[in-house]
Structure 1
Amino acid sequence: MAVVRDLVRSVQPLVDFVYPPRCAACGVALAAQDGLCSECWATLEVPPLAEGGVVAIYAATYYNDTSRRLVLAYKHGGRIALSRLLARLIAARMPEPAPGRPPPLLVPVPLHRWRLWQRGFNQAALLARELERFGKGRAEVAALVRHRRTPNLGGLGRDDRERVLRGAIRLDPAHAARLAGRNVVLVDDVLTSGATSRACIAAIAGARPASIALACFARVDAEHRLEHV
Structure 2
Amino acid sequence: MRLRDMLAPIGHFFYPPICPGCEGAVGRGGGLCPGCWSDLAFIERPFCEILCLPFETDHGPGAVSPAAMAEPPAFGRLRAAVIHRDLGARLVSLLKYGDRTDLAPLMAGWMARAGADLLAEAELVVPVPLHRGRLFRRRFNQSADLARRVAGAAGLAYRPLILARVKATRPQVGLGGAARRRNLQGAFAVAKGRRAEIEGRRILLVDDVFTTGTTVSSAAAVLRRAGAAGVDVLTFSRVAQAGA
Match of 1:40 in 2: 36
Match of 1:157 in 2: 176
Q: Is the 8 A contact 2:123 2:157 kept in 1?
A: yes
Greater mean deviation of Cα atoms: 165-174 or 46-55: 46-55
- Partner amino acid, structure 1, of 2:113: A
SS at match of 1:43: coil
1:97-136 Cα shifts (integer Å, max 9, x gaps): 55xx8x5211100001111111111111111110122115
**Equivalent of 1:212, from 208, 226, 231?**
231
Q: Distance in 2 between matches of 1:40 and 1:89?
A: 15
Q: Distance in 1 between matches of 2:3 and 2:135?
A: 32
**Equivalent of 2:90, from 69, 72, 86?**
69
Match of 1:84 in 2: 105
Match of 1:93 in 2: 114
Question: Do residues 20 (structure 1) and 20 (structure 2) align?
Answer: no
Q: Distance in 2 between matches of 1:129 and 1:7?
A: 26
How well do the aligned residues superpose, as a CA RMSD in angstroms? 2.1
Q: Distance in 1 between matches of 2:241 and 2:174?
A: 15
**Equivalent of 1:58, from 67, 73, 79?**
79
1:133-157 Cα shifts (integer Å, max 9, x gaps): 2115221111111111112222222
SS at match of 1:174: coil
Question: Do residues 172 (structure 1) and 172 (structure 2) align?
Answer: no
SS at match of 2:38: helix
Greater mean deviation of Cα atoms: 63-72 or 10-19: 10-19
Unaligned runs of 5+ in 1: none
1:182-225 Cα shifts (integer Å, max 9, x gaps): 11000001011111111101111122222110000000132996
SS at match of 1:173: coil
Distance 1:21 1:199, change over 3 A: same
1:28-52 Cα shifts (integer Å, max 9, x gaps): 1101111111122222222246432
Q: Is the 8 A contact 2:211 2:243 kept in 1?
A: no
Match of 1:114 in 2: 133
Q: TM-score, normalization: structure 2?
A: 0.82
Q: Is the 8 A contact 1:23 1:36 kept in 2?
A: yes
Greater mean deviation of Cα atoms: 30-39 or 82-91: 30-39
What stretches of structure 1 move > 4 A for 4+ residues in a row? Answer: none
Match of 1:10 in 2: 6
Match of 2:64 in 1: none
Distance 1:135 1:7, change over 3 A: farther
Q: TM-score, normalization: structure 1?
A: 0.87
Greater mean deviation of Cα atoms: 10-19 or 200-209: 10-19
Distance 1:136 1:39, change over 3 A: farther
Q: Is the 8 A contact 1:182 1:210 kept in 2?
A: yes
**Equivalent of 2:157, from 130, 138, 146?**
138
- Partner amino acid, structure 2, of 1:162: R
